[in-house]
Amino acid sequence: MAPWHPRRIEFGGDYNPEQWPRDVWAEDRALMSQAGVTLATVGVFSWAHLEPEPGRYELDWLGDVLDGLHAQGIGADLATATASPPPWLTRLHPEALPIDHEGRTRWPGARQAYCPSSTAWRTRAVALVEQLAGRFGSHPAVRLWHLGNEYGCHTSRCYCDTCAAGFRRWLLRRYGGLDGINSAWATAFWSQRYSDVEEILPPRLTPDGAWANPTQQLDYRRFASDTLLEELLLEKEVLRRLSPDVPITTNFMVMTRFNQLDYWRWAEEVDVVSTDYYPEFADPLTHVEAALSADLTRGLADGGSWLLMETSPSAVNWQPRNPAKKPGALRRDALQQIARGADGFNVFQVRASLAGAEKFHSGLIPHAGTDTRLWREVLDLGSLLERLGEVAGSRVESEVAMVWGYDAWWACELDSHPSVDVRYPDRPRALHRALWDRGITVDLVRPGAALDGYKVVVVPTLYLADDAAAAAVRDFVAGGGHAVVTYFSGIVDEHDHVRPGGYPGAFRELLGIRTEEFAPLLEGETVVLDDGSTADVWTEDLRLEGAEAVRTYADGPVPGAPAVTRHAFGDGTAWYIATRTSPEGTSSVLDRVVAEAGVGAAAVTTPGVEVVRRRGEQGSWLFVLNHTGREAAVPASGVDLVSGDDLDGEVRVGPGGVAVVREAGA
Ligand code: GAL
């Protein structure tokens, strides 16, 4: 398989020609060409058109689409078309329909209504992929294979009997036998001990107020992620056999509102990491969230090249209120992803649909046609991305890492915990945002990853930390690094068993502290710290065991107890933030940490003006994205590839504007 070598910034989107008569296709191609589109994702929801009846394949129309794209110099990200089965499939095989945890069937009529474990579904999907790969596996337009689509978006977990059997097999592989399962699941509790593996079920609806075994719930999340991954692996096997030269991808959903899959594990199986990211139009800080998503996607790609596979060119159709993007937002959104390592910016979709559930979702070609602001912005963006080709393949600079764990997220949000207000993404978002405001770029890394090369490592809400995750942070600090750990981290091991001896067991020695009991706050309750800042959600009765108190509580359940601590450990320093500090409180701690660690911003900036640097063999590029309503000035010398201006010491960027400076002397 030839490696993916980006030589340009890809631009394009999902292209669904089967929704249109053929005379529109020629216009589509001409317009895509005019806009500088380089990559079209084809066939994602085409199964019913490619196999209208069981075993009868109609592939010629897709061949015509691919030939047409190729003639226009546009590459294809060709879908395996298995994202949604045709109606005949579940009519023939009703057992392939998914069942929710209350035992209800999820019916066809929308999309993705299938059980991920279903043999019938898998057999039919593999047969389809064999047809497509056999016919188009060496087609000159095909540059990427796009497996499935947003795996787990609608059906992430099915609770049917087939899945139950698969879960048992998965458990036996993981634990070696019934004793291992009983021990990991702590089934001595509530008379849950299993005497035969056949007694084990998915965590289906339990009696009112009685929680399902937490490790059973956690393992079901792991099993569900692995089961969907098996689908991808089945398709991958076919493609490696029949189309070995074309790299594979699947569009992840790297967003803090999606946690159905363990993307660290998934990323190992694709040749190109790609993600979808959609803004939340009601959130004024949605662009900070977009930065976090991009930083995590870059982490999944191990710092290398990745693609933004989908976003909306303007409005979406699925939020309660769906405004159009404001002038300039499309360009800023695109450049933000490129700044943070994307080597491609693609949208859903090329031409806005006239019918169906997504008819009010924007496309590059809007309902109103090409005499529109949106189309003019699309043309501008296409030509800008072409000019930015030299950036492709360069890497994002960062001195700070943040540990991000999917099973830590799953475990953290299980029921029967000390406080419902401890939500996993809350602290990662808060700390990332505080660093974002300072122009400090953060790499997201998996728990247990080697941390050499970073100056600061942030460990927010890593409730579940296995020994390797704890050791990686400890070794980093012992070797001279600076770590910041936030509350409800290191509490349990990989089986969700409490680490005894005082909280937080996995990090107690590193942090030089010991907590006997948690003191979460009641709804709406706040506490004041000795610097006058406030905090909410969480406090704990923390004792110093070698650490110093940097902040203490002035009131609340544990007045006088440390709220923020600092501990010299080995050659480094370990900080603990024991409460949900306000943005100001978080910032003042991070200011000290980055100053002590000697971490610098990509450029001197002000909050709301995003700065990121990419560096490659050919030089370095400073991206400046002004998310504010005022003009911004950032120190920079070189050429602004957006305006073409030569810069001598400063780049001025208008409200909402962008600059990409090819830096002089870099
Ligand atoms: C994505 C999906 C696309 C389209 C889009 C609309 O989740 O992959 O097929 O539905 O959302 O925003």
CATH 3.20.20.80 fits 1-8+246-390, yes or no: yes
CA–CA dist 521, 515 (Å, integer): 16
Ligand 1, atom 4, lies closest to the CA of 348
Q: CATH for 609-663?
A: 2.60.40.1180
Mention every residue, 6+ apart, whose C-beta is less than 8 A from residue 327.
Answer: 373, 377, 656
How confident is the model over 499-526, as a mean pLDDT? 98
The rounded Å distance from CA 348 to ligand 1 centre is 7
Q: Domain 400-597: what homologous superfamily?
A: Class I glutamine amidotransferase (GATase) domain (3.40.50.880)
Residue-wise pLDDT tens digits, 444-494: 999 999 999 999 999 999 999 999 999 999 999 999 999 999 999 999 999
Nearest residue (by CA) to ligand 1, atom 9, is 348
| Alpha carbon distance 50, 61 (integer Å) | 9
The stretch 173-198 carries a mean pLDDT of: 98
pLDDT tens per residue across span 93-128: 999 999 999 999 999 999 999 999 999 999 999 999
pLDDT above 70: percentage of residues in the chain: 99
Q: Token match 């090249």: residue? A: 305
pLDDT digits (tens, 9 = 90+) for 254-276: 999 999 999 999 999 999 999 99
**Nearest C-alpha to atom 10 of ligand 1 is from which residue?**
358
Does residue 308 sit in helix, strand or coil? strand
Shortest CA distance to 616 belongs to which of 305, 302, 247? 305
| Residue labelled with tokens 């699941």 | 185
Q: Which residues are catalytic?
A: 150, 310
DSSP 8-state class, residue 200: -
End-to-end C-alpha distance for the chain, whole angstroms: 34
- Name the helix (H) or strand (E) containing 219: helix 214-242
Distance 434 CA to ligand 1 centre (A): 30
pLDDT of residue 97: 98
Q: What is the 3-state secondary structure (H, E, C) of 517-545?
A: EECCCCCCCEEEECCCCEEECCCEEEEEC
Cis ω for the linkage preceding 349 (within 30 of 0)? yes
pLDDT in the model for residue 636: 98
Q: Please compute the mean of the pLDDT values over residues 233-244 and round it to a whole number.
A: 98
Residue 1: is its pLDDT beyond 70? no
pLDDT at 67 over 70: yes
User: Is the pLDDT at 18 greater than 80, yes or no?
Assistant: yes
Average pLDDT score over residue span 210-219: 98
Q: Which atom of ligand 1 is nearest to the CA of 312?
A: 12
Q: Which atom of ligand 1 is nearest to the CA of 153?
A: 7
- Pocket perturbation via mutation, ligand 1, pick of 249, 310, 317, 333 by most ligand atoms within 8 A of CB: 310
Kindly state the average pLDDT of the residues 618-629.
Answer: 97
Span 319-329, average pLDDT: 98
Q: Flag whether pLDDT at 5 surpasses 80.
A: no
Ligand 1: which atom is nearest the Cα of residue 318? 12
- Mind listing the pLDDT tens digit for each residue in 545-580? 999 999 999 999 999 999 999 999 999 999 999 999
Of the chain, the percentage scoring pLDDT greater than 90 comes to: 98
**Long-range contacts at 352-356 (CB < 8 A, ≥ 24 apart):** 353/16, 353/19, 354/19, 355/19, 356/19
Instruction: Using the predicted structure, report yes or no on whether residue 7 has a pLDDT greater than 90.
Output: no
**Which atom of ligand 1 is least distant from the CA of 149?**
8
If you average pLDDT over every residue of the chain, what do you get? 97
Q: Are 513 and 543 in contact (CB under 8 A)?
A: yes
> Which residue CA neighbors atom 7 of ligand 1 most closely?
150
Assess whether pLDDT exceeds 90 at residue 150.
yes
Of the pLDDT bands very low, low, confident and very high (cuts 50, 70, 90), residue 665 is confident
**Distance in angstroms (rounded) separating the CA atoms of residues 341 and 9:** 11
> For ligand 1, which residues put their CB under 6 angstroms from it?
149-150, 153, 276, 278, 310, 312, 316, 348, 358, 361
The rounded Å distance from CA 358 to ligand 1 centre is 9
Task: Enumerate residues 6+ apart whose C-beta is below 8 A from 177.
Answer: none
**Which protein residue's CA is at the shortest distance from atom 12 of ligand 1?**
316
Range(s) of the chain covered by CATH 2.60.40.1180: 609-663
Q: How confident is the model at residue 526 (pLDDT cuts 50, 70, 90)?
A: very high
Q: Residue 659 Cα, ligand 1 centroid: separation in angstroms? A: 29
Can you give the pLDDT at residue 133? 98
1-10, 54-63, 219-228, 636-645, range with the lowest pLDDT: 1-10
CA distance 582 to 532: 11
For the chain, where do the domains classified as CATH 3.40.50.880 start and end?
Answer: 400-597
Mean pLDDT of the 571-592 span:
98
